[in-house]
Amino acid sequence: MSAVDQAPFQLDRNPGIPLDLKWVRSIQVNRSATERRAQSLPARRTVKKEWQAAWLVRAIECIDLTTLSGDDTEGNVHRLCAKAKQPLSPSMISLLGLGNVQVGAVCVYHRYVAEAVRNLEGTSIPVAAVSTGFPAGLSPFEERVKEIERSVASGAKEIDIVITRAHVLQGNWKALFEETKTFRAACCDAHVKAILATGELGTLTNVARASLVCMMAGADFIKTSTGKEPINATLPVSLVMTRAIRDYHEATGALVGYKPAGGIRTAKQALDYLILMKEELGDRWLQPDLFRLGASTLLVDIERQLEHFATGSYSAVSRHAMG
């Protein structure tokens, strides 16, 4: 058995375009139609047996393995990085007939970037740092920019920025554009993942417009949530954001990635998001350079499902390192 063919991490940066307010203000999202389409995905699309196992391996390769807790320690980060390098046990790798499997990235607070970089030395796994006053994004602007610069200097290859939600809620698209553009410049060569905190944006139309503005400003990824909001990743929101990515790609030729985050805990949910990406954006967006799943506990359920496929039995959650 093998996973879907995987391309190396070599995505060209999204250069961005000038802010087009006419395009932004023309966007309107039909909520009921969006919800109907989203509800149809898990109901009519499934993968079974060896195909499901292959898709779950691909889900592992697209995980941003994350620890963003107030009680994080260097020990937690060391354990997370060890799991990132070997997300499946050698026995499971052998049973499934796989080669090297690793996650898409390790995501930590700035405080632990250098520790994560040390622990991942010798691998191709990038370190992603949450930045810009995560999760609220309300610290002074200059401090948010400096935080990005410090994370990049510590070795972060990806920066998950948080936008100022007030810009979206007030329709101040120029301010959102300039903010994101400044954050992108501070990232230098590190890829920018713009967190929209969609559960706090009020409407799906706001989500679509904010997605487009962040891409115009040069975001390499757009991401649903910090994981700290009452409502995080959902399929309707993901449908809106992936269609914004598609429209932007058709207009500019730039490839922008997508990251749903927060509340994705089961293998079935991961499959739903992979199916969404395939149907809305195509196979190119099934690669980890264009799709990530922000998660901390998802890997445990995927491991258990793969073990059931390989052996016919489910293992206890406590047997797994991230359980």
- Tell me the C-alpha distance between 151 and 137, whole Å: 16
For residue 264, give the CATH number of its domain: 3.20.20.70
Task: Report if residue 245 sits inside a domain.
Answer: yes
Task: Report if residue 236 sits inside a domain.
Answer: yes
Q: Is the pLDDT of residue 9 over 80?
A: no
49 is catalytic: no
Task: Report if residue 71 sits inside a domain.
Answer: yes
For residue 319, what pLDDT is reported?
Answer: 65
- Tell me the C-alpha distance between 306 and 318, whole Å: 16
* Per annotation, catalytic residue among 64, 160, 220, 272: 160
Say what the pTM is: 0.93
247 is catalytic: no
Contacts of 21 (CB under 8 A, 6+ apart): 173, 174
CA-based end-to-end distance of the chain: 26
Span 192-196, average pLDDT: 98
Tokens of 76: 């937690």
Tokens of 55: 């898709």
| Three-state SS annotation for 147-178 | HHHHHHHCCCCEEEEECCHHHHHCCCHHHHHH
For residue 323, what pLDDT is reported?
Answer: 44
pLDDT in tens, 254-286: 999 999 999 999 999 999 999 999 999 999 999
pLDDT in tens, 58-99: 999 999 999 999 999 999 999 999 999 999 999 999 999 999
pLDDT in tens, 27-36: 999 999 999 9
Q: Is the pLDDT of residue 2 over 70?
A: no
Contact criterion met (CB below 8 Å) for 235 and 241 = no
Task: Report if residue 12 sits inside a domain.
Answer: no
Helices 267-280 and 31-44 cross at an angle (nearest 10°) of 120
| Three-state SS annotation for 211-243 | HHHHHHCCCCEEECCCCCCCCCCCHHHHHHHHH
Task: Provide the residue type at 145 as one letter.
Answer: V
Span 187-211, average pLDDT: 97
* Per annotation, catalytic residue among 64, 83, 259, 272: 259
Range of the domain at 300: 21-312
Distances (CA, A) of 135 to 131, 196, 225, 229, 310: 8, 11, 9, 9, 39
For residue 316, what pLDDT is reported?
Answer: 67
Q: How many domains does the chain have?
A: 1
- Tell me the C-alpha distance between 262 and 116, whole Å: 21
Contact criterion met (CB below 8 Å) for 114 and 155 = yes
Task: Report if residue 118 sits inside a domain.
Answer: yes
Task: Report if residue 240 sits inside a domain.
Answer: yes
Q: Is the pLDDT of residue 220 over 60?
A: yes
* Per annotation, catalytic residue among 157, 181, 193, 223: 223
Task: Report if residue 179 sits inside a domain.
Answer: yes
